[in-house]
């Protein structure tokens, strides 16, 4: 019997485990990514405390997430040397693409907002020309759209560009205040009893109608004053931007061109409104002056004095003519808005 050889089975060699460690390529690529991300934020926001905080927060999140994913793969790969270093670069690259996507969406939102403003103005023009009776509703819709899109442009802009949009929104707000006060006064005249002769005779409401007409004339003059002063106002607000900002120069240039077209027509528009208000005041004052000396017979207005009847006819015909002129001039203004 032969003696079996007493041979021991050799033990399997243990894999050597290495500590997690980034390599030079990680630091270089990570630094490049961080610089690009910081630049993208700088292009999106104003340089202030918020921007610095946003950059620090974004970089911290990108670096931390990349490190965590690299650690995870280092552990899964058995803690071998260099484990996770490729993962770190891949995650950093993916995070960078995400930042590019966010920046691209910001640009798309700005383009969408700009187009939204142009579309809203075009729709307002068409709607007002086709349906003049619903011009107030059309304007309210336009106002809401303009403010929404300007707010979006402000959010997605920075630096001088953002300042231009803030100035534009401020101008729009001041214009709306002036326009709405004037338009309200005009609507009150249209809804008043100024030419309701039976009402005036029975209620002697001359003074209340005169107050409505005085307010209408006053607000028309205030509205005109705002329009006349808007160019100097905008120039003053944009004076520190127009030298360097292409957007500011383009905005001011567009306003000046529109103003040159609208100014002569708007002047006629305002003067006609004031003349219309004064003629209506003349009618009410005539009724007040001749109270008890005029009556309505078979739907015909009769004055005791022929002179008063002639004055009434003159004022009324002028008022009717001015009503038609107001509608016609308003259509002209809408066409070139």
Same domain, 181 and 281: yes
| Domain annotation covers residue 324 | yes
Burial of residue 212, with CB atoms counted within 10 A of its CB: 0-12 exposed, 13-18 middle, 19 or more buried = buried
Q: From residue 231, how far is each of 19, 164, 207, 227 by CA, in Å?
A: 69, 15, 38, 8
Same domain, 81 and 190: no
Please state the domain count of the chain: 2
* 67, 82, 105 - which closes a domain: 105
Which tens digit of pLDDT belongs to each residue from 140-172? 999 999 999 999 888 887 778 888 889 999 999
Looking at the DSSP assignment, which residues form a beta bridge with residue 295?
302
Looking at the DSSP assignment, which residues form a beta bridge with residue 294?
303
Which tens digit of pLDDT belongs to each residue from 189-223? 988 888 887 788 777 788 999 999 999 999 999 99
Residue 135 has pLDDT above 50, yes or no: yes
17 or 3, higher pLDDT: 17
Q: How many residues in the chain?
A: 337
| Domain annotation covers residue 6 | no
Low-confidence winner among 32-41, 180-189, 252-261 (lowest mean pLDDT): 32-41
Assign 325 a pLDDT band (cuts: 50, 70, 90).
very high
Determine the pLDDT at residue 83: 67
Same domain, 96 and 179: no
| Domain annotation covers residue 134 | no
Determine the pLDDT at residue 212: 94
User: Under a CB-based contact definition with an 8 Å cutoff, are residues 123 and 60 in contact?
Assistant: no
Same domain, 185 and 302: yes
Domain ranges, residue 55: 24-105
Determine the pLDDT at residue 46: 56
Residue 47 has pLDDT above 50, yes or no: yes
Same domain, 175 and 308: yes
| Domain annotation covers residue 13 | no
Residue 4 has pLDDT above 50, yes or no: no
| Domain annotation covers residue 4 | no
Same domain, 183 and 247: yes
Same domain, 34 and 183: no
């Amino acid at each position: 019997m032969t003696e079996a050889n007493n041979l021991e089975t050799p033990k399997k060699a243990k894999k050597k485990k290495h500590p997690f460690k980034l390599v030079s390529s990680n630091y270089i690529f990570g630094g490049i990514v961080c610089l690009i991300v910081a630049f993208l934020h700088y292009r999106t926001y104003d340089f202030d405390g918020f921007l610095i905080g946003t950059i620090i927060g974004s970089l911290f999140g990108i670096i931390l997430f990349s490190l965590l994913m690299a650690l995870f793969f280092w552990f899964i790969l058995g803690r071998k040397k260099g484990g996770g270093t490729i993962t770190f670069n891949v995650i950093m690259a993916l995070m960078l693409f995400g930042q590019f996507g966010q920046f691209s969406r910001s640009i798309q939102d700005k383009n969408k907002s700009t187009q939204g403003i142009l579309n809203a103005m075009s729709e307002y023009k068409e709607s007002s020309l086709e349906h003049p009776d619903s011009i107030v509703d059309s304007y309210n819709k336009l106002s809401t759209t303009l403010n929404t899109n300007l707010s979006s442009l402000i959010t997605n802009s920075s630096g001088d560009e953002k300042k231009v949009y803030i100035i534009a929104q401020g101008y729009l707000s001041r214009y709306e205040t002036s326009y709405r006060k004037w338009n309200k006064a005009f609507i009150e005249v249209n809804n008043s009893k100024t030419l309701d002769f039976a009402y005036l005779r029975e209620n002697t409401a001359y003074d209340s109608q005169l107050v409505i007409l005085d307010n209408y004339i006053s607000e028309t003059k205030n509205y005109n004053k705002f329009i006349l002063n808007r160019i100097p106002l905008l120039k003053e607000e944009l004076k520190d931007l127009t030298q360097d900002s292409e957007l500011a120069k383009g905005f001011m240039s567009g306003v000046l061109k529109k103003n040159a077209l609208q100014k002569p027509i708007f002047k006629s528009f305002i003067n006609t409104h004031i003349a219309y208000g004064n003629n209506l005041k003349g009618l009410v004052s005539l009724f007040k002056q001749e109270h008890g000396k005029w009556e309505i017979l078979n739907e015909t207005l009769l004055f005791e004095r022929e002179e008063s009847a002639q004055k009434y006819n003159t004022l009324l015909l002028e008022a009717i003519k001015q009503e038609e002129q107001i509608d016609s001039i308003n259509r002209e203004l809408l066409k070139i808005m």
